[in-house]
Structures are given as structure tokens and as C-alpha cells.
Amino acid sequence: MRFSGIAAVSAASLALTACATMTKGGAGAGGGGGMPTATYPIGACSGVAPSDPSELYVITLGPGFKLTEPDVTHSGHPRPNPNHPRPHPNRLDIVTDLQDGQSAVVKIVLADPLLSFPGAGLAIQGADPNVSDVFCDAAIAADGRSLTFTDHRAAGKATYGSYVLGLVATDHQGSFQLPVFIDPGVDNDGFRLH
């Protein structure tokens, strides 16, 4: 990633200011749509069945990460099409075929050395009020290069949730850092391969 001069400092300053003003409550709580103004904490799992080892979804943010065309690879499952396409898909989205009572582990790996997580409080948060219906047990690995969370499907609860992934991008010279927030989603409502 390459940033230069005043533009980089301005962008970083604006991003940090926006980050500092986020409050708990949600985009629908007084917001007029558009960019979310809040996040929801991802809590500990309670009453969620352990995931089957085959239900592991790995998203790797590769070297040369670009915001406009992120270098993203998925492993663990094919990247199928959701039964109900979402309005704003991005390359970090996951589609599962979890049934009621099942859970999966999602792992996000930073392969680009210029990316890092900003810390536990900003690395991952729920983007929807239904976060506890879909996600739990988020944690950053000891080496700081990956994070995991549990994705689950409960009977009668939401089958789709989105989260806010927080990253810090450093320029090639190490002079500037820019906070980046992406809001991918996880769809547990089944999929089609074509």
C-alpha cells in the first residue's frame, strides 16, 4: 500500500476521528442510513454447540492488499452463491450451509505484512443488532496475525450477520498508518453452486 504526503495524513486523521466517535447503538438508532455509526460487541458463546472440524472457513488477506480489489483467498469450502444475494457483496463475504444448531469457525489471516489489527476492541465488532444470534467468541491470535470467531445458526434466529473488520495499513516506508474498516457478511442460509 502506498500513501503520500498530506492526503495520507488527512485520510488517517479523518479515519481516526470517525473511529473515535463510534458509539454503541447501531446505524438504525438515529441514523439516516448510509455508513454505520456504531458497532456491537461480539460476546462469549453461550449454549452454542462446538463446531465440527470440517466447518472451518479461512479468509486470507494476501500480499499487496488493495481496498478496491482486495487480494482475498478462501479455503475450507467452495465460494458458492447465496440463495438470497445481499445488496452490497464484497470479497470477504462467506456463505455457509449451516443447519439449525450448527456452528463454524471463521479465521481471518493477515498474509500482507503491511496489515495489522488495531487491537481487540477495534479488530472485530458486530455490525448488526442481531450479532449475538450469529457470532460469538472473537479472539486475536497471540502472534497478532490472525483472528477467529464462531459463526452459528440458532433455530428461529437470524441467519445473516455482518461484522466490522478493523485493520491498520502501513505504507511501504513505514511512515504512515491508515485505519481501514470493512464490513463483510456471513450468510448461513444455504447456497447454490451455480
Residues 79 and 87: their CA atoms lie apart, in Å, by 17
Buried b (16+ CB within 10 A) or exposed e, 57-95: bbbbbeeebeeeebebebebbeeeebeeeeeeeeebbbb
In a domain, 33, yes or no: no
In a domain, 45, yes or no: yes
Domains of the chain: total:
1
Model confidence pLDDT, tens digit, residues 41-93: 999 999 998 988 888 888 888 887 776 666 666 665 555 566 666 555 667 78
Domain of residue 60: give its range.
5-25+39-192
In a domain, 31, yes or no: no
* CATH code of the domain containing 71: 2.60.40.420
Query: What was the pLDDT predicted at 138?
Result: 94
Model confidence pLDDT, tens digit, residues 107-143: 999 999 999 999 878 899 998 888 899 999 999 999 9
Confidence of residue 149 (pLDDT cuts 50, 70, 90): very high
Count the alpha carbons within 13 Å of 188 in the hemisphere toward its beta carbon: 27
Can you name the residues that pair with 147 across neighbouring β-strands? Answer: 108, 140
In a domain, 166, yes or no: yes
In a domain, 34, yes or no: no
pTM score, whole prediction:
0.73
In a domain, 119, yes or no: yes
In a domain, 154, yes or no: yes
Query: What was the pLDDT predicted at 18?
Result: 39
In a domain, 58, yes or no: yes
